[in-house]
Amino acid sequence: MSPSPCPDLIAALRAPQGMTGLLPGQWDRLIPQARAAGVLGRLGVLARPFAADLPRPAWHALEAGVAMAERQAVAVRYELAQLDAALADVGAPVIVLKGAAYVAAGLDAGGGRMMSDIDLLVPKAALGEVEAALMLAGWASQSRDAYDQRYYRQWMHEIPPMEHLRRGTVLDLHHNLLPETGRIRTLPEAFIDAAVPLPGRRCLHVPCLPDMILHSAAHLMHEGEWGHGLRDLNDLYALIPAQATDEFWTELSKRAHLLGLTHPLYLALVQLQRVFSLHSPLVPALPGPRNAWLDALITQAVFGVLPQGRNALTPFAELALYVRSHWLRMPVHLLLPHLFYKACKRPAND
């Protein structure tokens, strides 16, 4: 494997105290990399205990990242309170996913985490009622396009993004872990059953820790959002306990089998090993195909967010993974007409 394009960034995320020994020239590369990867706030939170030992301009940049992330955490908690009130009477459990869940659950992984929207998952049977309650509370669908509506509702695992009319916050409402038409069948019921109620909230839950890790891995490996790849991989690194016990790995493996997410878990653990040198006993044990090419492509795409991480192979890796994510998302007889429609259609309002 080629050497990491950002050794200082990875080292800082793994062992924050090492940041006190960095030279100004190293900071000069590290700060733009952290900014590009969307982990500036995260790095700032990790650096805070040693702030006094860091060069002033570097700490000021990190502190700015912390300020942005903390402002966002306040906003997310406020939105979640609004959502809890709006959805409590529906009577269905509402599961907060990804970044908002790390913040709401007060997990270490939530410290300094930046996000662009809030992801929720509800039982498919309650989807209509939840959507109606959200509309009453001021959330409206961003897409008025009939094709998009059908694409999301019939084939995907989420409905088109909703936006709050006054606050402008964006909400992704899921009813499954992965697309309905996808090659992997998942079990959202088991995911919902194992979710933990958030203290002080009437209907909001967060996934149990193994499920949080599994959903994060599935999202990273299936959604093709490589612009956040390094940040999301770091989420996984932060979610897995530093001194993970055998019981932890056994439970994680058990949940992966139950939810049908062993393959994305395997792919994510391989990346954690390649990028963060985090070794998991599950890597040799998980079932499913091994593909060293795929692993290499994913590493390429994870680093592709950094200018130093891009090379002649990056566009190829990104294209290959884009095709793969669509391949996984729907069978060919649905995929080809969909891509044809998207290619021929003019952007609605551009």
Partner 1 sequence: MNLGELDLPEVQYRLRIGLGVQTGPFCFHIKSQQPRVARELHRLYADFPVGDFDFYDFHVRLDRPMNLRRWWHPQVLFWLDAYSPFKPLPADHDFAQLEWGMNWCIAGHAHHYLMLHAAVLEKNGQAVILPGDPGAGKSTLTALLALSGWRLLSDEIALIDRDDGLIVPLARPISLKNASIDVVRTAFPEACIGEAARDTYKGTVAHLKPPADSVMRMHDKARPAHIVFPRWQQGAGTRSETHTKADAFMHVATHAFNYSLLGETGFRLTSDLLDRCTCRNLDYSRQEEARAFFDGLVT
Q: Does 134 bind partner 1 (CB under 8 A)?
A: no
Kindly tell me which of 35 and 326 has the beta carbon lying closer to partner 1: 35
* Binding of partner 1 by 260 (CB under 8 A): no
Residue 68 makes contact with partner 1 by CB under 8 A: yes
Choose, by CB under 8 A, the member of 2, 18, 74, 132 that binds partner 1: 74
Residue 208: strand, helix, or coil: coil
Asked if 115 is part of the footprint of partner 1 (rule: CB under 8 A), the reply reads: no
In the block, residue with structure tokens 């809890």: 84
Residues between 284 and 313 that touch partner 1 (CB under 8 A): 307
Find the binder of partner 1 among 15, 17, 18, 28 (CB under 8 A): 28
Write the interaction track for partner 1 spanning residues 37-56; mark x where CB under 8 A is met and - where it is not: ------------------x-
Interaction residues for partner 1, span 4-23 (CB under 8 A): 23
Lookup: tokens for 139: 């959330």
Return the residue matching tokens 């956040």.
228
Is residue 30 within 8 A of residue 11, CB to CB? The reply is no
**Residue of the chain from 58, 104, 134, 213 that contacts partner 1 (CB under 8 A):** 58
Interface with partner 1, residue 268, by CB under 8 A: no
Please state whether beta strands 139-141 and 162-164 pair in parallel, antiparallel, or not at all (unpaired).
antiparallel
The CA radius of gyration of the chain, in Å to the nearest whole number, is 20
- H helices of the chain, in order, are 7-14, 24-37, 40-47, 56-87, 98-104, 127-136, 146-150, 188-193, 209-222, 229-239, 246-259, 262-276, 282-285, 292-303, 314-329, 332-344
**What is the torsion angle, in degrees rounded to the nearest 10, for the CA atoms of residue 50, residue 52, residue 58 and residue 60?**
110
Nearer CB in complex with partner 1: 70/117:
70
Residue 36 interacting with partner 1 (CB under 8 A)? yes
* Residue 242 burial (CB count, 10 A): 9
Which residues of this protein are in contact with partner 1, per CB under 8 A?
A: 23-25, 27-28, 32, 35-36, 55, 57-58, 60-61, 63-64, 67-68, 70-71, 74, 307
